[in-house]
Amino acid sequence: MRYAMAIDTKKCVGCSDCVVACQTENEVPIGYCRDWIVEVTDGTYPELELEIRSERCNHCDNSPCVRCCPTGASHYSDGGSVLVTHNKCIGCGACVSSCPYDARYSHPKGYVDKCTFCNHRVKKGQQPACVSVCPTRCMYFGDLEDPNSEVSKIMKLRKYKTLAPEAGTKPQVFYLI
């Protein structure tokens, strides 16, 4: 099993519904976010191109955060999701520094926090909160190793990219282009 997410940059309108859904579902402290919207404008006026992305932890296959963690609090869970065990985390910040996507932050309670691919919902057979609320249905979540999963199907049809592949992390959140 390999959980992954595909996000359609052609369909995303940047409404931030995924951000609010995540903050509500996961009780993210006020002022912080586990996922966020990025708008990239390329080119010179009048020839401009806009790409909107909903970004989050990439649940990398080769996660620098898991490698750098001195206590093993950051670990790979079922399906390759990268999770943090709160009572093992000492709050040293090594994983925060090691993440090329800056997807982690220090929770006011002290431990490090980040996107969990809504592990608690996925276990119950539900979609992650962000995926479930998306009004344009631009997000696809599922098992990459299952050829019939939504994410596998859409990735067969479309071209995609990952963020900062040169960092060598093998990210598992794919952006359809």
Q: Where does this chain bind another protein (CB under 8 A)? A: 16, 19, 31-33, 36-44, 55, 64, 67-73, 87-94, 96-102, 104-106, 109-112, 163-164, 166-168
Q: Which is nearer to another protein, 98 or 153 (CB)?
A: 98
Q: How far is the CB of 65 from another protein (least distance, A)?
A: 9
Q: How far is the CB of 125 from another protein (least distance, A)?
A: 30
- Would you give the distance in Å from CA 147 to the centre of its chain? 21
Q: Which is nearer to another protein, 39 or 146 (CB)?
A: 39
Given CA atoms 52, 54, 60, 66 in this order, what sign does their dihedral have? positive
Token pair for 45: 């006026």
Q: Which is nearer to another protein, 16 or 153 (CB)?
A: 16
CA distance 123 to 155: 23
Residue 63 sits at φ, ψ, to 5 deg, of -80, 120
Q: Which is nearer to another protein, 73 or 138 (CB)?
A: 73
CA distance 21 to 74: 24
